[in-house]
Chains A and B, each alone.
Chain A
Amino acid sequence: MHLHKYEKIWLVFGLGSLALFLVVIGFAAFWKGTHPQSHIETIDPQNIEANESFKPENLGLTEVADGKYVVNIVASAFNYDLGKEEDGSPTKTIRVPKGSTVLFQITTRDVVHGFQVAGTNVNMMVEPGHISRYETVMKNDGDFTIVCNEYCGIGHHLMFGTVEVY
C-alpha cells in the first residue's frame, strides 16, 4: 500500500496531536489524580439509610476541617434532598466560601439521575446501588445551579438546588 508523502506528513501530525492529548489527560489522571469519578462503592438502593453518610440527619453541608466540607445528598424522583434548615424547611442552597474544598457524596433511592453543579466540573451519574463522589476546590465565586442532567421521569426538569460560593 502506497502513501503519498503529504499523507504521511498529515498522519504523523494527526497521530502526534492525538498522542499529545492523551499525554495531557493521562498525566492529569494518573499523576495528579483527576480521574472522572469512579469509586466502585455499592449500597442497597432500598436501604440507603444503612449507610452513615445518607442517614437523614447527616444530609447537607458539614464542615469537616478548616476550609474542608462534605455535602451528602440523596436524589430521588424528582428531588435533591440537601438536608434541613434550622427551621425544619428543606435546604435548597448550599453556601461555601471561595477556595474551599468540597466533597460531594450522593446516591439515589430510585432511578438513575445526573448530578451536576452547573458551571463547575462537578458532574456525575448517580445510579441505584452506587455511591457517587467528587471532590473539588471551589475556585470561582457565584451562584451555581444544581440540576439533574440525566432523564429520570416527567418531573426531571424540576430537580434543582443552588451552590452559592461567596
Chain B
Amino acid sequence: MSKKNISAAKQTKEDVNLKGTLIMVMILGVVILVFWFGIYGLFLSR
C-alpha cells in the first residue's frame, strides 16, 4: 500500500460519526460523578 492510501484510509477513520457514542459515554460519566458525590455527601453527614 502506498503512503497516500494509508493517509486516505486514516481520514475515513476520523470521519466516522461517533456523536451518539460520545453522548452515551458522557451520560455514563455523569452517572458516576453524581453517584460518587452523593455518597461522599452522605459520608460527610455522618
A and B touch in the complex (CB under 8 A): yes
The residues of A with any CB-CB pair to B shorter than 8 Å are 2, 4-7, 9-10, 13-14, 17, 21, 24, 119-121, 139-140
Q: Are A10 and B25 in contact, with the CB atoms below 8 A? A: yes
B14 and A5 contact, CB distance less than 8 A: yes
A120-B46, A121-B43, A139-B45 are contacts. A4–B14 as well, Cβ < 8 Å? yes
Query: When the two chains form their complex, are residues B46 and A17 in contact, meaning their CB atoms are under 8 A apart?
Result: no
Interface of A is mostly: helix
The complex places the Cα of A121 from the Cα of B25 at a distance, in Å, of 33
Minimum Cβ distance to chain A for residue B5 (Å): 16
Judging by beta carbons under 8 Å apart, are B45 and A17 in contact? no
Verify A13–B26 contact, CB threshold 8 A: yes
Q: Which residue of B lies closest to A122 (CB)?
A: B46
Find chain A residues with CB under 8 A from B21 CB: 6
